[in-house]
Amino acid sequence: MRSVLITGAAGGVGGRLRKLMKGMYPDLRLSDLKTPTDLGADETFIAADLTDPAAVARMVEGVEGIVHLGGVSVEAPWEAILSANIIGLHNLFEAARKTKVKRIVFASSNHAVGFYPRRRKIGTGQPVRPDSRYGVSKAFGEALGAFYAYKHGIGVTALRIGNVDDAPVDKRRLAIWLKPEDLVQLIRIGLEHPDIRYEVMYGASDNETVWWDNERAFQLGYRPVGRGEDSRGAAMAAQAKLPADPVGNWYQGGTFCSAEYDSPLPLAED
């Protein structure tokens, strides 16, 4: 793999990847709607709006691998999700197909399955249970990835990312925290491992309270180095200051589940 494009490079996760992945591939390109304020003279940046097919085509021209972090990364009104995460994502996969991109690593999210209760350990074989319009768009992205993988032969990896940060910031994040260096490991598996056709993996570090069975990632060589438990004290102290949230604390997706929640039914046990 020589040429790799990171979309969403001006965002929080993208900014970390820019630094961690520098020099990893001979031609590392970055893209986002707006130029990152701290762009270095040695970085290659192409501004592109995902909703503009011509701009997306220019952005992917000549790349072999794409790490797609671009689009809306939290819950938002439907129109915003629709344009960036549905139409924009389709533009990206179409451009990738036309220019014969070999690999795509798609930043899916834990919110594609946020409505599973925390007491249940899930793998990647259960049906999606999105907890938000954003989560629905991530489930769509996983489906679109499978379609382009099996129909058009692009090697696609969907990473159901937990929470990327220096350390877990509350009880929920103790379970789903992903150390940035561990994310890089997962991305490299998606870009480089010879056995990738279509894979779904969880983006979590070595966390004792994790709710996910990430067996496939381990089979493909993932060896996380981050240990959420090392930050338990600070995370639980922060948790104690958060408001009560019976719905959010029951389900894996947290506040994404409790926001706009008006189900008259009891919390789902399964």
Catalytic residue among 25, 134, 148, 251: 134
List binders of ligand 15L among 152-171 (CB under 6 A): 163
Q: How far is the CB of 45 from ligand 15L (least distance, A)?
A: 22
Check if 134 is active-site. yes
Distance CA 174, CA 229 (A): 7
Site membership for ligand 15L, residue 110 (CB under 6 A): yes
Selected from 26, 37, 41, 74, the binder of ligand 15L by CB under 6 A is 74
Selected from 3, 73, 91, 157, the binder of ligand 15L by CB under 6 A is 73
The answer to whether the beta carbons of residues 196 and 155 sit under 8 Å apart is yes
List binders of ligand 15L among 90-109 (CB under 6 A): 109
List binders of ligand 15L among 196-255 (CB under 6 A): none
Site membership for ligand 15L, residue 132 (CB under 6 A): no
The answer to whether the beta carbons of residues 93 and 85 sit under 8 Å apart is no
Q: How many CA atoms lie within 13 A of 94 on its CB side?
A: 14
Q: Please, which residues have CB within 8 angstroms of residue 67's CB and are 6 or more apart in sequence?
A: 4, 5, 6, 7, 17, 105, 107, 187, 190, 191
Phi-psi group of 87: left, alpha or beta (phi > 0 → left; psi -120 to 50 → alpha; rest → beta): alpha
Total chain residues near ligand 15L (CB under 6 A): 6
Selected from 111, 133, 171, 188, the binder of ligand 15L by CB under 6 A is 111
The answer to whether the beta carbons of residues 87 and 51 sit under 8 Å apart is yes
Active site residues: 134
Residue numbers of the site for ligand 15L (CB under 6 A)?
A: 73-74, 109-111, 163
